[in-house]
Amino acid sequence: MAIFKGAGVAIVTPMKENGEVYYEKLGELIEFQIANGTDAIIICGTTGESSTLTHEEHLDVIRYAVEKTAKRIPVIAGTGSNCTDTAIYLSQEAEKIGADALLLVTPYYNKATQKGLIRHYTRIANSVKLPIILYNVPGRTGCNILPETAVALAKNVENIVAIKEASGNIAQVAKLMSLADGCIDLYSGEDGQVVPALSLGGIGVISVLSNIAPRQTHDMVALYLEGRIEESRRIQLRAVPLVDALFCEVNPIPVKTALNLMGMNVGPLRGPLCEMDEANVPKLKKAMEDFGITLN
């Protein structure tokens, strides 16, 4: 059974002006997402600035999301690391907290081999009982999960059940789904390639766009899964300028800027990320307004 079908939000982590995690604001964001049809909360992922959270903060944020969501929709905890033992620790603690599933990014910087990836993911998966989503984003990590590796993991490790594919390489995704023959669930990790991924057998998206357009992102997937492909395609194509604007600088700089422009007051980013270049803000504002998003 799939962890979820539809649009899961890779939710931001709000910060106070002094840099502390703003838990009450995170609660507001979770309620906003649930009210607008989001199908899962992905907490402490790349968009949630997980790499700048202490271990204590990381687990506290997961705990808050689990308690606030209260089983209304699944909470998927990002617990990946470039250290296998750290990923095991975070994964085991997230399981104790009550997360519904785990999202495990490839080890970054140390660039594991495919054999190393298999050992890394197998050790983590064997340390917990929760279902696991592999997260392939080589543009950020310098490490690519090859289709053969993902399929081997899904076939040989019981609780590795899905992959978030953010390689941007639709041919690689097609090869993955051809080799998998149904053994792994596919979530798009590229907001600009949701419909293409669904056309290859995907069941949803783990989305940055959902932070500011949850209803439209949910509808894009739901319509496709209902067979209303033309309506789904229209949303995807209409979203192209907004997706471009959301990734004109490194994520999550633009999406946090966008939420602040909407009056959500999610605060600043943690270093080494910084505020958006002023020259890019008008482009972001226009794309948001053209997509029907009201600015504060």
Strand segments (E) across 178-227: 185-188, 204-207
Q: What pLDDT, on a 0 to 100 scale, did the predictor assign at position 1?
A: 82
Give me the catalytic one of 135, 187, 224, 256.
135
Whole-number Å distance between alpha carbons of 288 and 271: 26
* Residues near 129 by beta carbon (within 8 Å), at least 6 away in sequence: 95, 159
Q: How far apart are CA 206 and CA 93, in angstroms?
A: 22
pLDDT at 77: 98
Residue 153 to residues 163, 184, 203, 205: CA-CA distances in angstroms? 11, 9, 19, 21
Q: Which of 25, 64, 108, 164 is catalytic?
A: 164
Tokens of 178: 């051809």
Q: What count of Cα atoms within 13 Å lies in the side-chain half-sphere of residue 74?
A: 23
Give me the residue label for tokens 């993991």. 153
Give the count of beta carbons closer than 10 Å to the beta carbon of residue 202: 25
CA distance 199 to 66: 32
Per-residue pLDDT 10s for the chain (296 aa) are: 899 999 999 999 999 999 999 999 999 999 999 999 999 999 999 999 999 999 999 999 999 999 999 999 999 999 999 999 999 999 999 999 999 999 999 999 998 999 999 999 999 999 999 999 999 999 999 999 999 999 999 999 999 999 999 999 999 999 999 999 999 999 999 999 999 999 999 999 999 999 999 999 999 999 999 999 999 999 999 999 999 999 999 999 999 999 999 999 999 999 999 999 999 999 999 999 999 999 99
Of 2, 7, 26, whose CA–CA distance to 15 is shortest? 26
Domain 6-237 belongs to what topology?
Answer: TIM Barrel (3.20.20)
- The question of whether 175 is a catalytic residue gets the answer no
Phi-psi region of 223 (alpha: psi -120 to 50; beta: other; left: phi over 0): alpha
Question: Which pair of tokens denotes residue 4?
Answer: 């979820």
User: Is 135 designated active site?
Assistant: yes
* CA atoms of 176 and 197, how far apart (whole Å): 11
216 touches 235 (CB < 8 A): yes
Integer Cα distance of 143 and 279 in angstroms? 32
Q: What pairs with residue 164 in β-bridges?
A: 135, 187
In sequence order, what DSSP letters do the residues of 91-117 get, joined into one string? HHHHHHHT-SEEEEEPPPSS---HHHH
